[in-house]
Amino acid sequence: MSQKNIVLGVTGSIASYKAAELTSLLVKRGFSVHVVMTAAATSFIAPLTFQTLSGNPVHVDMFSPPKDWNVEHIGLAQMADLLLIAPATANFIGKIAAGIADDLLSATVLATKAPVVIAPAMNVGMYENKIFQRNMKLLREYGYYFVEPEEGRLACGTAGKGRLADLEKIIKVVENLIFREQDLSGKKVLVTAGPTREPLDPVRFLSNYSSGKMGYALAEEARERGAEVILVSGPTGLSPPPGVKVDFVETAQEMFEAVLNYFPEVDVVVKAAAVADFRPKQVAPEKVKKRGSCMVIELEATPDILFHLGKQKNKQILVGFAAETENLLENAREKLREKNLDLLVANDLKQEGAGFQVDTNIATILYPDGGVLRLPKMTKKELARVIFDEVVKLIKLREKEGDR
Binding interface with ligand CTP (CB under 6 A): 252, 271, 273, 275, 277, 302, 304-306, 320-323, 335
Which one, of 86, 298, 263, 278, lies nearest residue 191 by Cα? 263
Of 14, 45, 62, 156, which residue is the catalytic one? 156
Quote the least distance from Cβ 284 to ligand CTP, whole Å.
23
Quote the least distance from Cβ 304 to ligand CTP, whole Å.
4
| Three-class secondary structure of residue 166 per DSSP | coil
Name the residue whose CB lies closest to ligand CTP: 305
| Three-class secondary structure of residue 88 per DSSP | strand
Q: Which is nearer to ligand CTP, 119 or 323 (CB)?
A: 323
Q: Are strands 150-153 and 159-163 parallel, antiparallel or unpaired?
A: antiparallel
Q: Which is nearer to ligand CTP, 80 or 268 (CB)?
A: 268
Report the sign of the C-alpha dihedral through residues 120, 112, 382, 137, in that order: positive
Q: What is the DSSP string of 179-244?
A: H---TTTT-EEEEEESB--EEEETTEEE-----SHHHHHHHHHHHHTT-EEEEEE-S-SPPPPTT-
Tell me which H or E stretch contains 321. strand 317-324
Q: Which is nearer to ligand CTP, 51 or 253 (CB)?
A: 253
Quote the least distance from Cβ 61 to ligand CTP, whole Å.
55
Pairwise CA distance, residues 225 & 228, whole Å? 9
Q: Which is nearer to ligand CTP, 149 or 234 (CB)?
A: 234
DSSP state of 63: T
Quote the least distance from Cβ 368 to ligand CTP, whole Å.
15
Q: Which is nearer to ligand CTP, 52 or 327 (CB)?
A: 327
What backbone phi and psi angles, to 5 degrees, belong to 403? -70, -25
Which one, of 39, 383, 338, 111, lies nearest residue 221 by Cα? 383
Quote the least distance from Cβ 305 to ligand CTP, whole Å.
3
What backbone phi and psi angles, to 5 degrees, belong to 295? -140, 140
Residue 156 a catalytic site member: yes
Query: Residue 21 in contact with residue 49, Cβ under 8 Å?
Result: no
Report the sign of the C-alpha dihedral through residues 78, 82, 87, 91, in that order: positive
- Residue 353 φ/ψ region, left for φ over 0, alpha for ψ in the -120 to 50 degree band, beta for the rest: left
Q: Which is nearer to ligand CTP, 109 or 252 (CB)?
A: 252
Pairwise CA distance, residues 55 & 33, whole Å? 8
Quote the least distance from Cβ 345 to ligand CTP, whole Å.
8
Quote the least distance from Cβ 266 to ligand CTP, whole Å.
15
In DSSP terms, which residues pair with 161 in a beta bridge?
A: 151
Query: Residue 239 in contact with residue 211, Cβ under 8 Å?
Result: no
Q: Which is nearer to ligand CTP, 164 or 275 (CB)?
A: 275
Query: Looking at the annotation, which residues are catalytic?
Result: 156
